Structure 1
Amino acid sequence: EAATREFFEETNVTANNAHLKGAYTMVIKEGDKVVDEWMLYTFVTTDITGEPFAETREGTLAWHPIEALETLPMAEGDRTNLLFAVSHKGMQYGTFEYTTDFELLSEKIQKSEQS
Structure 2
Amino acid sequence: MQRVTNCILKDESKNQILMLKKPRYGWYVVPGGKMEQGESIKQSVVREFKEETGLDLINPELRGVFTFVVMDQLEIMREWMMFTFICDTSKGALFDYCKEGELEWVPIAEVLDKPMAEGDYFMFKHILANEHLLYGTFIYTPDDRLIDLNLDPPCQ
TM-score normalised to the size of structure 1?
A: 0.91
Q: Report the counterpart of residue 19 of structure 1 in structure 2.
A: 61
Distance 1:51 1:95 in 2: 35
Aligned residues: 112
Aligned amino acid, residue 112 of structure 2? E
Aligned: 1:79 with 2:131: no
Distance 2:143 2:109 in 1: 26
In the alignment, is the contact (CA less than 8 A) between 1:92 and 1:110 conserved in 2?
yes
Q: Report the counterpart of residue 78 of structure 2 in structure 1.
A: 36
TM-score normalised to the size of structure 2?
A: 0.68
Q: Report the counterpart of residue 88 of structure 1 in structure 2.
A: 130
In the alignment, is the contact (CA less than 8 A) between 1:24 and 1:41 conserved in 2?
yes
Distance 2:126 2:93 in 1: 26
Q: Secondary structure at the match of 1:78?
A: helix
Distance 1:28 1:80 in 2: 18
Q: Report the counterpart of residue 31 of structure 2 in structure 1.
A: none
Could you tell me which runs of 5 or more consecutive residues in structure 1 were left unpaired when the two chains were aligned.
Answer: none
Q: What's the CA shift for 1:105?
A: 0.5
Aligned amino acid, residue 124 of structure 2? L
Could you tell me which runs of 5 or more consecutive residues in structure 2 were left unpaired when the two chains were aligned.
Answer: 1-42
Distance 2:142 2:128 in 1: 28
RMSD: 1.4
Percentage of matched positions with identical amino acids:
34
Aligned amino acid, residue 17 of structure 1? N
Distance 1:31 1:19 in 2: 36
Q: Report the counterpart of residue 105 of structure 1 in structure 2.
A: 147
Q: What's the CA shift for 1:30?
A: 0.8
Distance 1:61 1:45 in 2: 17
Distance 2:103 2:67 in 1: 26
- The list of structure 1 runs, each at least 4 consecutive aligned residues, that deviate by more than 2 angstroms after superposition, is none
More helix as a share of residues: 1
Q: Secondary structure at the match of 2:48?
A: helix
Distance 1:55 1:104 in 2: 31
In the alignment, is the contact (CA less than 8 A) between 2:112 and 2:124 conserved in 1?
no
Distance 2:121 2:53 in 1: 20
Distance 1:5 1:50 in 2: 13
